């Protein structure tokens, strides 16, 4: 079986109100594989951050979709987001200064920083006109 065949995939309208449906899809897959609740909470935060960024910034000139794919292999969860929005590699964004006082910090960047901190692997590529962000977490 190809790697692609290991993923369950759904396509969502890239709008913030769809976040609940995205999480329902992802959490159903994770629960069916027995992913521990503590790990599901970390993954939920990462899913929320990535999807809300797509919904907020990928399609400034109109509506678009976000394809969400989930695979659980042994104790490893992999989630992939694809969109045809504006090309943007969030991994190249400047790291936020977490030591600066709150009132002096730049707005933005903290969410993807948290995703990178909580997940074991985070990758981005722009391929065939699509932003593809994939993150993985070993759950046990």
Helix and strand counts by DSSP (H, E) for the chain: 3, 5
58: tokens are: 């990928």
Contacts of 138 (CB under 8 A, 6+ apart): 75, 76, 120
Residue from 71, 72, 94 nearest 4 by CA? 71
The residue ranges of every structural domain in the chain are: 4-138
Residue from 2, 136, 129 nearest 70 by CA? 136
User: CB of 54 within 8 A of CB of 83?
Assistant: yes
Confidence at residue 4, expressed as pLDDT on a 0 to 100 scale? 64
The H-or-E segment that residue 20 falls in is helix 19-32
Confidence at residue 95, expressed as pLDDT on a 0 to 100 scale? 62
Q: Which residues pair with 80 in a beta bridge?
A: 69, 134
Confidence at residue 70, expressed as pLDDT on a 0 to 100 scale? 98
| Rounded Cα distance, 140 and 135, in Å | 16
Confidence at residue 104, expressed as pLDDT on a 0 to 100 scale? 52
Confidence at residue 111, expressed as pLDDT on a 0 to 100 scale? 72
Confidence at residue 2, expressed as pLDDT on a 0 to 100 scale? 46
CATH of domain 4-138: 3.30.565.10
**Could you read off the pLDDT tens digit of each residue along the chain, which spans 140 residues?**
445 679 999 999 999 999 999 999 999 999 999 999 999 999 999 999 999 999 999 999 999 999 999 999 999 999 999 999 999 999 887 664 445 454 554 444 457 888 999 999 999 999 999 999 999 999 87
């Amino acid at each position: 079986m190809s790697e692609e065949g290991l993923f369950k995939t759904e396509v969502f309208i890239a709008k913030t109100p769809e976040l609940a449906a995205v999480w329902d899809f992802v959490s159903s897959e994770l629960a069916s594989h027995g992913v521990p609740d503590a790990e599901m909470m970390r993954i939920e935060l990462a899913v929320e951050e990535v999807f809300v960024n797509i919904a907020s910034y990928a399609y400034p000139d109109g509506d678009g979709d976000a394809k969400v794919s989930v695979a659980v292999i042994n104790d490893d969860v992999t989630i992939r987001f694809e969109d045809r929005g504006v090309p943007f590699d969030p991994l190249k964004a400047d790291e936020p200064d977490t030591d600066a006082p709150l009132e002096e910090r730049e707005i933005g960047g903290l969410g993807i920083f948290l995703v990178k901190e909580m997940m074991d692997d985070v990758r981005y590529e722009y391929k065939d006109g699509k932003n593809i962000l994939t993150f993985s977490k070993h759950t046990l």
